[in-house]
Chain A
Amino acid sequence: MATVRLQQLTRKFPDGSVALAGLTLDIKHGEFLVLVGPSGCGKTTALRLIAGLDAPTSGRIVVGEEDVTDLPPGSRDVAMVFQNYALYPHFTVAENIAFPLKMRRVPAGEQQRQVREVAETLGIGELLARKPAQLSGGQRQRVALARALVRQPAVFLFDEPLSNLDAQVRASTRAELVRLHRQLGATMIFVTHDQVEAMSMAQRMAVLNKGRLEQCAAPLEVYRTPATRFTAQFVGSPSINTFDGTIEGKGSRQLFVGAVQVPVTAPPGSGTLAVRPEHLHIVPPGDGTFPVRVALVEPLGAECIVHALLGDNTEVRVRVPGLPTVATGDTVHLRIDHEAALVFDAEGRLEGRGRRP
């Protein structure tokens, strides 16, 4: 069973900065887990620790039943696809793919057979005689993938493998990776800073921030119920609207008071109200609405993003389906989907939700 368990994984640099602070994560067999976070959050560090390229300051890494923390990378049964693909420039494609087999002293005939098989699977069979420099970005990516696949490892590690591809190839490769995962049933750990990539590919996504795990759950759950204010802001584009204020009153009279007022269920005290752009609606003036001034309209075709300013110049982003109906300078009224609003406490933890008044 190729489960991967990270136990209190910590990595400190000699200068005292902490790349990873006690990451504990259980990755199930055959799972597609995405490590996501802004740059410097420790996601690549975590991946390198799993690969064995760096040694943790403390903590253990268990693959299957085996503690691999002190094993060299080549003995870990993990394969990695690097961001820049790391193809050997002096080898042909075939030699690149065969290299892990060669290092494991697989007989030459067997090497050739396996290389051909993997190459056919990935549709690079006719490129085998070329050198990496003669390949396009997408083709290099496939070769790097083939080099990982040919070893038939228990765990695949991907370090932002799509970030060097242009948008079109990236979208198709994304789908292909998901298909490949389903086909192989292998455990895959995928690092990215792109939350769209994470959302679209992950079975579970682990959001990291400053070396700590913020949340690890299915993408939609992370989206709907972010555990922290950071996660709420990191996931979703355009990002979630936040309003600082206080929670006042008790029981059915509990109310978030800030730039907007929303009935909530949460312990009293200072907090943050967060509302996704699609949970704000432009409506005729009436009860429970508030006026805003439109500052910018971004038409995207199927929808448009309206940037508007509240009375105190707080910016709000509203996702409006269809073509734009408002223009810059207009004053419009907004209504909040109360049940969809999230309330975070002063530390940024989710502590409640909005409620129907």
Chain B
Amino acid sequence: MTTDFVTPARRVAVAVCLVWGLVVGALVVRTWIRAEDALAAQEGRSVAASFGPDFQPTRLPVRTPVAAGRVANVVRTMERQIGPAANRIAESERTLSLGRLWSRYVSVPVKDADEWDVVGAVVLRADWWRGVAIPLAVVLATLLVAATLGRRGVVRASEDVSTPPYFLVADAIATLTVGTTGALVLASRRLTEAAAILPPPSAQVRFDPLSLPMPGTRTLGVLLLGWCFAAACALFLCAWMASPRRSVAERRESATAWSFLAPSGVHLLVFTLGPLLFTAWLSLHPWDLLETSRPFIGLTNYRELLSDPQFWNALRNTALYTLYVPVTMVLALGAAMLLNQPLRGMRVLRAMVFLPTVVSYVAIAMVWQWIYHADYGLLNYLIRLVGGTGVDWLGNPATALVALMIVSAWVQLGYQMIVYLAGLQGIPETLLEAARLDGANAWHRFTQVTWPLLRPVSLYLLVTGIIWSFQVFALVYVMTEGGPARSTDVLVFQIYQQAWEFRRLGYASALSWVLFAILLGLTLLQWRLLNRKVEYAG
């Protein structure tokens, strides 16, 4: 790539960003100051008016804050100067006035009973830093955005790294700051509007800033989100346009790609992300499906869950249940190696082993229920044939979970075998031939060549197998319903039970999120492990 990474396009983008930030900053500062002054004036008038006709100026040489109200979530303090202290204020200033940026005050004259002589003034002074902090913050944020854009260009030009991690962070920070700026604009605008509809100065009511018609948190939240989104889009577009590697054709190509992705993206948003967020919200509230009010109860559901022995029992059972995965993997690898022989009829055999995987879990559960039946079951029949005594496989807490694990192993064996078979066939034949020439016997060929090369496959099977086994439900539901004595109660079954039998959707949602956290952890683990390099290039 060329070293000339400061393309005109990026220069324009950075400049636009800077100008935009400065303008926004100026606007914010202006409106903010105006609104504050308006409020202060109103406050002053109220105070002045409250003194009334029997005003005794000499008795009030006090400096006390009159109001410490909250305006747009900013604590502002004001002080009043009445009586002799007010004499220091020049005549011309004994009215509503705007000072300089760094020392602003508003004075309101206090007149005597016949409204003729000015006997004092109420002066409200804003904190000095108010004039500095906000513009400073805005300028800093803008600089950050500009720097991000510029940095992106440097990174793109210097090395062909698609997305360095700090780059993502920088973008996020930039988006956040731009979003905040936008929110600030919104807030100050609301403030101006509020100031405009203040009660007239003659009103005798004591002014309370809290009574201002400020935007509600919900509206503000929506506005803030919308603004963040718009700002992120704008920023993304800006950076995208400024990036040096994009030809028109490439841009068109990615636009096409996005348009293809859009339908599934929308689907994902509505049917996956939506319910996900809903359960997250639900897990912080109690709900029994009928009640319309769902008060916020914080983490109560989670706290209850952690102290619930049934939850721990289900977690333990689920963890035990996953043990079938490695056992099945060993069997599957053996089966795959047997079925990998180029013999007649192998395809049929493979299909037969694979068959259970495509059959409905409910059907499988019914069949195995019969096999396990204490009196009429096939298994006990066979045991009695050889002289043993039958066991009530599904009715005995000691055997029920193992019985379920055997069914799962039977089902999963075919799938794992097929995956292993694909893995085996992906190993180049010449590697094994080379090993034979190098003097490796069958065992060494397996341990030194085949098994190491199957490692990614094994890892994949192990982790996906565990993830799946954490989601086991149909078998438990049909065969044991969590019994006997909760010995086959697993997490998903408990979620089902809490939600649809006990109608505790909030609690069930909390359970779901715990399960989600476990699965997320496992998935991340899988990524970490699988992304380690194993090269097949010979």
**Which A residues have a C-beta under 8 Å from some C-beta of B?**
51-53, 72-75, 78-80, 82-90, 99-100, 103-104, 131-133, 140, 147, 151
B263 on the A face (CB < 8 A): no
Contact partner of A74 (CB less than 8 A), chosen from B439, B449, B455, B535, is B439
In the assembled complex, how far is the CB of residue A145 from the closest CB belonging to chain B, in whole angstroms?
Answer: 13
Please tell me if the beta carbons of B537 and A89 are within 8 angstroms of each other in the complex: yes
Q: Which residues in A have their C-beta under 8 angstroms from that of B217?
A: none
Cα A104 to Cα B435 with chains together (Å): 12
- A151 to B, closest residue via Cβ: B438
Check B129 for interface membership: any CB of A closer than 8 A. Answer: no
Residues of the B chain whose Cβ atoms lie less than 8 Å from the Cβ of A133: 533, 535, 537
> Are A103 and B438 in contact (CB-based, < 8 A)?
yes
Partner of A86, one of B433, B440, B444, B534: B433
Question: Which residues does chain B contribute within 8 Å of A84, judged by CB atoms?
Answer: 428, 430, 538
CA distance A88 to B436 in the complex (A): 13
Which residues of the other chain, A, contact B428 by a CB distance below 8 angstroms? 84, 86
Taking a contact as CB atoms under 8 Å apart, the answer to whether B538 and A85 are in contact is yes
- Interface positions, chain B 455-481, Cβ under 8 Å from A, are 455
Indicate if B431 sits at the interface (CB-CB under 8 A): yes
**CA of A23 to CA of B440 in the docked complex: distance in angstroms?**
29
Q: Does B58 contact A (CB under 8 A)?
A: no
Are A90's CB and B538's CB within 8 A?
no
CA distance A228 to B430 in the complex (A): 35
- What is the distance, in angstroms, from B225's C-beta to the closest C-beta of chain A? 46
Q: Which of B431, B535, B538 has the most CB of A within 10 A?
A: B538
Q: CB within 8 A of A78: which of B430, B437, B440, B455? A: B437
Assembled-state Cα–Cα distance A321/B430 (Å): 45
**A74 and B431 contact, CB distance less than 8 A:** no
Q: Which residues of chain A come closer than 8 Å to B435, judged between CB atoms? A: 88, 99, 103
Residues of A with C-beta under 8 A to B437: 51-53, 73-74, 78-80, 100
Q: List 20 A-B contacts (CB under 8 A).
A: A53-B436, A72-B436, A74-B436, A74-B437, A78-B437, A80-B437, A83-B430, A86-B538, A87-B538, A88-B431, A88-B434, A89-B431, A89-B537, A89-B538, A90-B452, A99-B435, A100-B438, A103-B444, A131-B533, A133-B535
Q: Say yes or no: A73 contacts B448, CB within 8 Å.
A: no
A82 touches B430 (CB 8 A): yes
Q: In the complex the two chains form, is A74's CB within 8 Å of B538's CB?
A: no
Question: Does chain A have a CB within 8 A of B453?
Answer: yes
Interface presence of B116 (CB below 8 A): no
Q: Give the size category of B's interface with A.
A: 20 to 34
Knowing A84-B428, A99-B438, A104-B439 touch, does A131 contact B433 (C-beta < 8 A)? no
Closest A residue, CB atoms, query B534: A90
Interface residues of B in 415-450 (CB under 8 A from A): 428, 430-431, 433-441, 444, 448-449
**Distance, CA A90 to CA B118, complexed state (A):** 94
The reply to whether B448 and A99 contact each other, CB–CB distance below 8 Å, is yes
Q: How far is the CB of A137 from chain B (nearest CB, A)?
A: 11
The distance in angstroms between the C-alpha atoms of A86 and B428, with both chains bound, is: 8
Judge whether A74 and B438 touch: CB under 8 Å. Answer: yes
B contact face: mostly helix, strand, loop, or mixed: helix
Seed contacts A52-B436, A84-B538, A86-B430; 12 additional CB < 8 Å A-B pairs: A53-B437, A74-B438, A80-B433, A80-B437, A83-B430, A84-B428, A88-B435, A89-B453, A90-B452, A90-B535, A100-B437, A132-B537
Q: In the complex, A287→B119 CA distance in Å?
A: 141
The CA of A267 and the CA of B249, in the complex, are separated in Å by 72
**Would you give the shortest CB distance from A336 to chain B, in whole angstroms?**
48
Give chain A residues whose Cβ lies under 8 Å from the Cβ of B453: 89-90
Confirm or deny: B271 has a beta carbon within 8 angstroms of a beta carbon on chain A.
no
Judge whether B431 and A86 touch: CB under 8 Å. yes
* Nearest Cβ on chain A to B341's Cβ, whole angstroms: 14
- B260 interfacial by beta-carbon distance below 8 Å: no
How many angstroms between the C-alpha atoms of A52 and B433 in the bound complex?
10
The chain B residue with its CB closest to the CB of A135 is B537
Q: With CB as the reference atom, state the residue of chain A lying closest to B438.
A: A100
Is B166 an interface position by the 8 A CB rule? no
Q: A58–B95 Cα gap in the complex (Å)?
A: 120
> Within the assembled complex, what's the spacing in Å between the Cα atoms of A86 and B436?
12
Question: Which residues on B sit within 8 Å (CB–CB) of A90?
Answer: 452-453, 455, 534-535
B536 touches A (CB below 8 Å): yes
* CA of A351 to CA of B120, assembled, Å: 137
**Could you tell me if A89 and B433 are in contact, using CB atoms closer than 8 angstroms?**
no
Question: In the assembled complex, which residues on chain B have CB atoms less than 8 Å from the CB atom of A53?
Answer: 433, 436-437
Interface residues of B in 159-193 (CB under 8 A from A): none
Which A-chain residue is minimally distant from B431 (CB atoms)?
A86
Q: How far is the CA of A132 from the CA of B536 in the complex (A)?
A: 9
Residues in chain A near residue B433, CB distance under 8 A: 51, 53, 73, 80, 82, 86
Chain B residues closer than 8 Å to A82, beta-carbon distance: 430, 433-434
Closest 5 CB pairs of A and B: A74-B439, A133-B535, A86-B434, A103-B439, A86-B430
B446 to chain A, nearest CB (A): 13
What's the least CB distance linking B303 to chain A, in Å?
A: 48
C-alpha gap A82/B433 in the complex (Å): 9
A24 CA to B430 CA, complexed, in Å? 26
> Cα distance A104–B441 when bound, in Å?
11
Taking CB atoms, residues of chain B closer than 8 Å to A140 are 538
Least CB distance from B432 to A in Å reads: 9
Residues in A neighbouring B535, C-beta threshold 8 A: 89-90, 131-133
Nearest opposing residue in chain B for A104, CB measure: B439
Give the residue name and chain of the B residue nearest to A164 (CB).
B538
A82 to B440, CA, bound (A): 17
Contacts of B431 in A (CB 8 A): 86, 88-89
Residues in chain A near residue B449, CB distance under 8 A: 88
Bound complex: CA A83 to CA B437 (Å): 15
Contact flag A132-B448 (CB < 8 Å), given A51-B437, A73-B436, A84-B430 = no
- Residues of B within 8 Å of A85, CB to CB, are 538
Measured in the bound complex, the distance between the Cα atoms of B431 and A85 in whole Å is 9
- Fill in one digit per residue for B205-217: 1 if any A CB lies within 8 Å of its CB, else 0: 0000000000000
Cβ distance A182 to chain B, nearest Cβ, rounded Å? 24
